[in-house]
Amino acid sequence: MTDPRLLIDDLAQLVAFPTVSDRDLTDLAAWLSERFEALGFRVERFPDPAQPGKCGLVMTAGPERTDGSGIVLSGHMDVVPTEGQPWTSDPFVLTRRGDRVFGRGSADMKGFFAVVLQACARLKIRELKAPLVLVWTHDEELGCLGSAELAPKLVGRPLPRRCWIGEPTGFRVLRMHPGHVVAEIVVEGRAAHSARPRLGLNAIEGAAEVVREIRSLVDELDRDRGADDPSPRVPINVARIAADGAVNIVPDRCVITVGYRPPPGMTADFVHDRIVERIGSLRWAAPIRSRIVQATPSLLTPAGTDLAALFAADAAQDDDYRGMAPFATDGSNLATLGINPLVFGPGDIEVAHKADEFVEIGALVRAVDVAERVLRATCGVS
């Protein structure tokens, strides 16, 4: 039986590491390594060569098997920033109020780390009959960068086909999610003195025309989809418009950053090609260029996997989701390794990234029981 005090103590220690994505996470990686090594896991650290202080962790227990048996559990070590948010308590000090605990990462997703620690502590890890692999990543919140960097290093390694991504879903079993693509559009202009603006070409004005075309594209994609089409919309967000220069100079360059989320089955290029086509139709007297700078693929795990069946007894039913997570996860990058991720976990994504992020203590306790049952079933441990 789960002792909530031990669970909350673990979560308090996890939350105390301020692993915001722009900071070092070496201390948390070391703490996790020590805890799981003590339980009997073999720990490998994969430093990110481009980012000192960032790494992925792969922890393995049980025999190596090539038949796909066992299970992979995965989560991300980083959290989103807290600056400027109206927290009513220190975001990096776990605070209990009634049946909830508050802190950055409590739901997204350090609560899952605490759950896995407690579940593994209840098993005889050294007696596993099938492999148990834990994959902990960095910079998921910046676009699943850590798993994108880590996955190629695991190509060719025998891994279980089952994969559990412990994001907060309110115990809904989600097998799909959209991708996330970032495109950068550069609008060129011609500088001039602001007293004679007609001698120049204002790149910001060109950017305004690009934004109008993107808005029109959103409407077009919705029309193409049709009112009765159950497939998800393609959200397109004009996130940033930036131009350098003094106020008395006509700007000669403007950069637009656009994000969009292609649903499962749609490539990153599909929307980008449409953007490029519309840019090409503009009568602008200077170059306009667009390129994809970051692309997290969508996730589409087949329906009816045996892991979904294992989750079924504890799964919440919600027709609004229909198996589709509204957010991207590391699962899409891990799926490139030939495994079948499902997204399932305690907590509510609606409170993630916000001030006073929280998770219900009862949900964490319930998740430990689920994790123990799933690990016993998939890894054949007593």
Domain of residue 59, CATH code:
3.40.630.10
pLDDT digits (tens, 9 = 90+) for 326-345: 889 999 999 999 999 999 99
For residue 330, give the amino acid letter.
Answer: D
Which residues form the domain of 309? 4-177+297-379
pLDDT digits (tens, 9 = 90+) for 223-259: 876 555 555 678 899 999 999 889 999 999 999 999 9
Q: Which of 130, 166, 171 is nearest to 378 (CA)?
A: 130
Looking at the structure, do residues 184 and 168 belong to the same domain, yes or no?
no
C-alpha 84 chain-centroid distance: 22
Domain closes at, from 268, 296, 324: 296
Looking at the structure, do residues 132 and 152 belong to the same domain, yes or no?
yes
Please report, for residues 56, 147, 159, 264, the alpha-carbon distance to residue 73 in angstroms, rounded to integers and kept in the order given. 13, 13, 11, 22
Looking at the structure, do residues 268 and 323 belong to the same domain, yes or no?
no
pLDDT digits (tens, 9 = 90+) for 10-25: 999 999 999 999 899 9
Looking at the structure, do residues 150 and 209 belong to the same domain, yes or no?
no
Give every CB contact of residue 328 below 8 A, 6+ residues apart in sequence.
143, 144, 177, 178, 179, 180, 261, 296, 298, 299
pLDDT digits (tens, 9 = 90+) for 353-376: 999 999 999 999 999 999 999 999
Quickly list DSSP for 148-195.
HHHGGGGTTS---SEEEE----TT--B-EE--EEEEEEEEE-B--BTT
Looking at the structure, do residues 138 and 30 belong to the same domain, yes or no?
yes
pLDDT digits (tens, 9 = 90+) for 174-232: 999 999 999 999 999 999 999 999 999 999 999 999 999 999 999 888 887 655 555 56
| pLDDT of 317 | 73
Give every CB contact of residue 2 below 8 A, 6+ residues apart in sequence.
118, 365, 368, 369
Taking the C-alpha atoms of residue 370 and residue 65, their distance in angstroms, rounded to an integer, is 24
pLDDT digits (tens, 9 = 90+) for 268-324: 999 999 999 999 999 999 999 999 999 999 999 999 999 999 999 888 876 556 788
pTM of the model: 0.88
